């Protein structure tokens, strides 16, 4: 599946006792439509308040179903802030979490004197003008295969280590909207929000762009790198069988 959701009212993807979650809603919908109890595995768990345009997930069913009818039925019973955008049969060895070759996240900032109320759940509001050119210089120093321990909210939990290949970190500005596009082979815990928090500090003039190198070299998370709020973050796309061509 390719799943889109507004994460505002959810405690994240993963099922948690006493909490409303994306995974819980997906599994409940499948149970209602098919009568089967099945686990829905995603490409990577999103935190509370984080959104997705292109989350990838898979599930197993014992009985066959017509895909178009199954997709329609699921969307008919899912909450209106969750939708199955695509549904197709997967290869037997496919796994939404372990098969990806890369991901793209986007972080949205509203950089103006007033936050339009209809954007408040999907953009981080920064009133102070940001220097986008400085942010781009800092971003260029972060691209590549590097140790991103300083940009993980909990580097000690990363079983596979803290080295990741950040293929691109692009900053676009249109009017008051600034979008940070991060693509890579994988991301550490809250890494994208940490990259966004750092770049916002650079844009605000609190840190020079060159501090990106010093922070990377330290391989230690400190208060210098804040974690940006969740509402600006979207899991945009998951790549299988190769990274997206530029």
Catalytic machinery residues: 47
H runs (alpha helix) in the chain: 22-34, 67-77, 132-142, 191-203, 211-218
Which among 18, 21, 12, 20 has a CA at the least distance from the CA of 45?
12
Q: Tell me which residue has tokens 């197709």.
A: 88
Alpha-carbon gap, residue 53 to 170, rounded angstroms:
18
Question: What angle, 0 to 180 degrees and rounded to 10, lies between the N-to-C axes of helices 211-218 and 191-203?
Answer: 150
Alpha-carbon gap, residue 136 to 203, rounded angstroms:
9
Which among 119, 109, 113, 121 has a CA at the least distance from the CA of 202?
109
The two three-digit tokens of residue 212, written as one number: 């990106």
């Amino acid at each position: 599946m390719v799943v889109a959701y507004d994460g505002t009212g959810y405690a994240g993807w993963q099922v948690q006792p006493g909490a409303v979650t994306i995974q819980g809603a997906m599994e409940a919908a499948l149970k209602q439509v098919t009568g089967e109890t099945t686990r829905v595995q995603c490409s990577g768990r999103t935190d509370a308040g984080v959104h997705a345009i292109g989350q990838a997930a898979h599930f197993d069913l014992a009985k066959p179903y017509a895909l178009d009818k199954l997709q329609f039925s699921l969307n008919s019973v899912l909450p209106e802030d969750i939708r199955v955008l695509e549904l197709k049969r997967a290869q037997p060895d496919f796994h939404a979490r372990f098969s990806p070759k890369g991901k793209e996240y986007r972080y949205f900032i509203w950089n103006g004197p007033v936050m339009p109320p209809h954007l408040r759940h999907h953009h981080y509001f920064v009133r102070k003008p940001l220097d986008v050119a400085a942010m781009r210089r800092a971003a260029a120093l972060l691209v590549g295969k590097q140790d991103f321990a300083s940009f993980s909210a909990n580097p000690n939990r990363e079983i596979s280590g803290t080295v990741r290949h950040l293929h691109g970190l692009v900053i676009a500005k249109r009017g008051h909207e600034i979008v940070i596009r991060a693509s890579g082979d994988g991301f550490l815990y809250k890494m994208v929000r940490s990259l966004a928090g750092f770049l916002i500090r650079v844009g605000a003039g609190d840190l020079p762009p060159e501090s990106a190198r010093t922070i990377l070299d330290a391989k230690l998370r400190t208060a210098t790198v804040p974690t940006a709020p969740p509402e600006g973050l979207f899991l945009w796309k998951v790549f299988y069988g190769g990274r997206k061509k530029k």
